[in-house]
A and B are shown apart, each in its own frame.
Chain A
Amino acid sequence: MSNHFDAIVIGAGMSGGWSVKELCEQGLKTLLLERGPDVKHIRDYPTATKNPWEFQHRGEMPHKIQQENPSIARCYAYREDNAHFFVKDTEHAYIQDKPFDWIRGYQVGGKSLMWARQTQRWSDFDFEGPARDGFAVDWPIRYKDLAPWYSKVEKFVGIAGNRDGLDILPDGEFLPAWDLTCVHDHFKQVLKNHFPGRHMVFARCAHLSQPQEIHLQQGRGQCVSRTECERGCPIGGYFSAYSSTIPWAEKTGNLTLRPHSVVESILFNPDDGKARGVRVIDANSKEVIEYTANVIFVNAGAINTISILLNSRSEHFPDGLGNHNGLLGKYVAFHNYRAKINAICEDFGDRAVKGRIPTSGYVPRFRNVYRQETDFLRGYASGFGASRWKEGGEPTGFGETLRDSILGTKPEFKGPWRINSHMMGATIPKESNYVKLDDVQVDDWGMPLIKISMDYDENDEKMIQDFFIQFTEMYEKAGFTDITTRDTKQAAGLDIHEMGGVRMGHDPETSLLNQWNQLHSCKNVFVTDGACMTSTSTQNPSLTYMAIAARAADFAVQALKKDEI
């Protein structure tokens, strides 16, 4: 096998899947390098069809594993049925200069198997945010630049949603949404009547509520709302790189997938000012191999992408590839997911839900949208859940009394509706937040250990208090009772939306990537995962990464054709 390709994509996750799909479809012989093992759709979902009672610990994670892996143990999604997709803290150490729970999935498909599939578009309120509010740098793109790519991604991925007509949350190419409950409708109405500018909509999600021809061609079928998505869906009812983009790229005949390939660095050629390839360490044999290509896409997941670039040192770039201004790894940010609110709704006692759905309600950002109205910058979106489940008998006493209390009656809808919301707050990228490489310590593959320092600031604290006040007010107006608020005080990272560090911008002096995601100072290297994000917004970011990746890949192909890179 030749070691030369038209393109190399580093990282086979959510964004890398889109890079390879676009590059391969447009005829480029593409090498996809993934540090983890291959995970094949259906074949490698060992728990997908297990019943709850077939799990040895009924879903609970063993104590020893939790003790040894404190960061992932704090992640809500890390459970007995999908633990095998999570990177263990113990296996891939990193240095927390400040507490940071780094949640990773090292395998072909990346975290696209574990994700919660929430897919909201960004709007110009997000892309214009830094310029308007005077933080970070101005995004070099606007909504109109990305809108066609959002559409392209949405059609292929399959997004269930309603056209809500909100400027803060642009509509897309939607499959039918599921209807939400009467309590959702009630809350929606309360917002409409009493809180102008606030809305509750169906949270758009990457599920095939009504598969189209393009989805059937991918071999995917209708989502049947099993809601066991995190184990891998044998039906392909939700989008993942495993079930969708990577097999699609494979079908073109242009893809070479190499799992177990840890990309150590990108190799720079000072003669033409371009990257010439990558250096890979075979994860098992530790053999070092070099691959060359005309164009390189870095999609290793924000923090790993930063680390690969930092580790790509040369005489020309002593502080890392493209790091001519010393900003590589700085201005990293995340989402503030600390605030939760719960309540009960005593109304609608004669109503309940039958079956399950894979999403819930969503309250788009309403703070500081049209003007600055609070003493903190930006704002937050929120989930809105309302559910009611059948409750069995309260276990009472011992012996026959206990047995009869459990088996004497069938579970019924007796309790009230349970209401919950969780804040999804924007954080402001700061120079003091960073990802660096340690000068001394290395991992098992000889790569310098990654050091992470990200923290909340006063803006985040004020936002949390505002969320509690606003949601308490809205909940009270809706007649909800027993309202309790909770600041989880969780460290950064558990939002699993790390962004920035290789930010886009107009000016090469203050940013690393241009409007096409090319490194300003090494034009055949593209960064199209979370690392490219200039600011964080409030919406779940992966849809935007995918749209950015597709757009940049298309640009790269055109540029290659014109010999411009």
Chain B
Amino acid sequence: MDRREAVRNIVLASGATIFLTGCADRNVIEFLADGKLKLNDKHLDYLGRISEAFLPIEGVSEKIGDPVSFIMTMVNDCSSTGQIRQFATGFEQYKMLMKESRLKIKKADASEVTTVVQTALEEAAPKEDLIYFISSVRNLSIRNLTSSEYYMTEYREYQMIPEPYEPCINV
């Protein structure tokens, strides 16, 4: 049984509340009775660092909503129970991956993280849950940015009352 399967089995075998022993730290990932994911402050902080490594928004972050709370809202509210569990398993695998790569997330340079992530993604036998976690964090970080007031107004020129309609402008 490889590590991924082992972690997965723990998740599947457990009841409503399960505890996964993380490798990057000794913290746990917890599920609430309704199957939603409850991350403690350390994990939330960690998720924030992952999101920042995947899509750095430093410098404009105050103009964009907090990616971590958006990711958690979307994962918990807009995913099936199976997907939430996949996300959690993938999170554990991600932590293992970083540990294996001897990357302490606090110290790691974003480019190092992405190299490790990309290498993992290119592996011959990609880890389904890991990929699910990585693509969820990446996609939701992108969505948090592109649906933010900053992006919608500065880049998309969104106005609640749009500019007067012109059916055929020259571009």
Selected from B111, B117, B166, the residue in CB contact (under 8 A) with A354 is B166
Docked complex: B5-59 residues within 8 A CB-CB of A: 53-57
B101 within 8 A of A: no
Question: Which stretch (B73-81, B87-95, B124-132) binds chain A?
Answer: B73-81
Question: In the complex, what's the smallest C-beta–C-beta distance from A353 to chain B, in angstroms?
Answer: 6
Docked-complex contact B165 and A357, CB < 8 angstroms = yes
Docked-complex contact B78 and A62, CB < 8 angstroms = yes
Known pairs A52-B147, A52-B152, A225-B165; list 9 more (Cβ under 8 Å).
A51-B149, A182-B167, A184-B167, A352-B169, A392-B155, A400-B110, A406-B55, A406-B142, A410-B155
How many Å lie between the Cα of A353 and that of B171 in the bound state? 9
Check A178/B152 contact, CB under 8 A, given A226-B160, A398-B54, A406-B145. no
Report the 9 A-B pairs with minimum CB-CB distance, sorted nearest first. A355-B165, A398-B114, A354-B166, A62-B77, A182-B168, A399-B114, A179-B167, A181-B167, A355-B162
Docked-complex contact B168 and A353, CB < 8 angstroms = yes
Question: In the complex, what's the smallest C-beta–C-beta distance from B132 to chain A, in angstroms?
Answer: 15
How many Å lie between the Cα of A63 and that of B117 in the bound state? 29
Q: Which residues of B contact A354 (CB under 8 A)?
A: 163-166, 169
Docked-complex contact B160 and A49, CB < 8 angstroms = yes
How many Å lie between the Cα of A392 and that of B142 in the bound state? 12
A192 within 8 A of B: no
Docked-complex contact B161 and A224, CB < 8 angstroms = yes
Docked complex: A61-95 residues within 8 A CB-CB of B: 61-64, 67
How many Å lie between the Cα of A352 and that of B167 in the bound state? 7
How many Å lie between the Cα of A352 and that of B170 in the bound state? 7
Q: What class of interface size applies to chain B in its complex with A?
A: 35 or more
B156 within 8 A of A: yes
**Count of residues in A whose CB is under 8 Å from the partner chain:** 47
A350 within 8 A of B: yes
Question: In the complex, what's the smallest C-beta–C-beta distance from B108 to chain A, in angstroms?
Answer: 11
Check A58/B142 contact, CB under 8 A, given A181-B167, A398-B114. no
How many Å lie between the Cα of A117 and that of B15 in the bound state? 50
Docked-complex contact B162 and A350, CB < 8 angstroms = no
A356 within 8 A of B: yes
Q: Which residues of A contact B158 (CB under 8 A)?
A: 51-52
Docked complex: A352-404 residues within 8 A CB-CB of B: 352-357, 390, 392, 395, 397-400, 402-403
Selected from B142, B156, B169, the residue in CB contact (under 8 A) with A411 is B156
Whose C-beta in chain B lies nearest to the C-beta of A67?
B80
B99 within 8 A of A: no
A180 within 8 A of B: yes
How many Å lie between the Cα of A300 and that of B79 in the bound state? 36
B136 within 8 A of A: no
As a 0/1 sequence over residues 393 to 427 of chain A, the CB contacts with chain B under 8 angstroms (1 = contact) are 00101111011001100111100000000000000
Q: Which residues of A contact B169 (CB under 8 A)?
A: 351-354
As a 0/1 sequence over residues 65 to 78 of chain B, the CB contacts with chain A under 8 angstroms (1 = contact) are 10000000110011
Q: 27 interchain pairs (CB within 8 A)? A: A53-B65, A53-B147, A53-B148, A53-B152, A56-B77, A57-B78, A67-B80, A181-B168, A182-B167, A351-B170, A352-B169, A353-B167, A357-B165, A392-B146, A398-B54, A398-B114, A398-B118, A400-B110, A400-B111, A402-B54, A402-B138, A402-B142, A403-B57, A406-B55, A407-B151, A410-B155, A411-B156
As a 0/1 sequence over residues 322 to 364 of chain A, the CB contacts with chain B under 8 angstroms (1 = contact) are 0000000000000000000000000000111111110000000
Q: Which residues of B contact A438 (CB under 8 A)?
A: none
Q: Which residues of B contact A431 (CB under 8 A)?
A: none
Whose C-beta in chain A lies nearest to the C-beta of B149?
A53
